[in-house]
Amino acid sequence: MTIISLGHLVPATAFHEQYVQFKSVRNIIMIFFYDLFWYTGVVQLGLMAGNRFVSIVYPMEYKHIFSRSRSLYLILFGYFLGFLVSLPTLFDCCHTLWDSNYYITVYEKPDTLYKYVDMAVNSISLCMMIISYAVIIYKVRESGRAMAKYQLTIRTRQQNALVNGVSLSCQMNECGRTSSVRPPRSQVSKKEMRLFIQFFVVSLVFLLTWTTWQWLPYMSESKWAYFVMTSLFFINNSVNPTVYIIFNTQLRRELHYLICRHHVISNAQNKRKQTLFGRGIATVNKNEADFQNNTRDDATKSLVDQAGSLSSQSHATIDEHEILYV
């Protein structure tokens, strides 16, 4: 969508009829592809809201529902549905064209029934987002309250244990079933919360963009109002990668690897060589130390044996003198 915007919409806005005619085939084809990616993105936003809903509300079922194969099918379904919804724009009854004078896409026939298809797809996806994120926010609040209550109970029992001289482990486990306290289940992890915030911000920008598209033309006929509306579409196109790059550490790491792949591989090889070299030096030092220790032990053992031999010889000499004396 960004490429289409920079390659078609912006030049058409700057040069008007000199760049593209209003009812030209190129205008129809380019807006068709724009709508294709737009509706695909709308469907995927609804699917991502459902993904976050299952991940946070039903975490035990997440891997089963959103397995790798099913996730791939859902992505392909989003593109297929986006293609089906945008396909009517190629026919005379449903042409959607870029009006460079008002900075907006318009229906060639304002009374076309296709506008209800557009409204239905966007509305269904928007309802999925609102319901999913509302339930997620409620779940997060309840989870936070349960954890706060659990921590308060633990602190209270610790204070009582210090006052009464009773160990906390005895209170929690062995000294009575009524006093046992368990941590709340299904806590929302920090990773899940970061993903939720990312998708929520993206969906919020989409909500602002779509509601502006639906209601602003009825509120004002100024082309500058339309310019604001179209600018929101451009922002909506770029907000997804921007939000993901800012908040998603793993995505930044993967992008850094793709962009600086040779540098990353070179650094990894150098670190590996340094590690192997360090291990080699450590092995050599260890072998030298073992050799010195073994040499020292052998010398000590030799001295002990020599001392024992001398002691035996001295005892034998004394015995001979005693025999001669007798």
The full DSSP string for 236-277 is HHHHHHHHHHHH-HHHHHHHHHHHTHHHHHHHHHHHHHHHHH
pLDDT tier for residue 165 given thresholds of 50, 70 and 90: low
pLDDT at 314: 46
* 30-52 mean pLDDT: 87
Tell me the three state secondary structure of residue 61.
helix
pLDDT at 287: 59
Among candidate residues 6, 5, 26, 46, the one with its CA nearest the CA of residue 210:
46
- pLDDT tens string 236-270: 777 777 777 777 777 777 777 777 766 656 666 66
Both structure tokens of 86: 């945008």
Average pLDDT, the chain: 73
Q: Which residues, 6 or more positions from 53, have their beta carbon under 8 angstroms from its beta carbon?
A: 132, 135, 136
pTM of the model: 0.63
Helix (H) or strand (E) holding 126: helix 114-164
Is 221's pLDDT higher than 50?
yes
pLDDT at 3: 76
Distance CA 150, CA 156 (A): 10
pLDDT tier for residue 310 given thresholds of 50, 70 and 90: very low
* 163-177 mean pLDDT: 54
pLDDT at 266: 67
Among candidate residues 118, 108, 97, the one with its CA nearest the CA of residue 9:
97
- pLDDT tens string 53-76: 888 888 888 888 888 898 999 999
Tokens 């293609």 label which residue?
83
pLDDT at 77: 92
Contact 121, 38 (CB under 8 A): no
Distance CA 244, CA 240 (A): 6
pLDDT at 323: 39
Provide φ and ψ at 113, rounded to 5°.
-75, -10
pLDDT tier for residue 83 given thresholds of 50, 70 and 90: very high
Is 325's pLDDT higher than 50?
no
| Most confident stretch, 7-11, 45-49, 269-273 | 45-49
From the candidate CATH numbers 1.20.1250.20, 1.10.3720.10, 1.20.1070.10, 3.40.50.970, the one assigned to the domain spanning 2-142+190-249? 1.20.1070.10
Distance CA 263, CA 279 (A): 24
* 2-11 mean pLDDT: 72
Q: Beta partners for 97?
A: 106
- pLDDT tens string 107-119: 888 888 888 888 8
Q: Which of 84-88, 169-173, 278-282 has the lowest mean pLDDT?
A: 169-173
Contact 220, 104 (CB under 8 A): no
Q: Beta partners for 107?
A: 96
Burial class (CB in 10 A: 0-12, 13-18, 19+), 60: exposed
Residue 297 identity (one-letter amino acid): D
- Percentage of the chain modeled with pLDDT above 70: 64
Q: Beta partners for 99?
A: 104
Q: Beta partners for 104?
A: 99
Which of the two residues, 166 and 14, has the higher pLDDT score?
14
Sign of the four-CA dihedral 197, 198, 204, 205 = positive
Distance CA 292, CA 284 (A): 12
Contact 35, 171 (CB under 8 A): no
Contact 114, 88 (CB under 8 A): yes
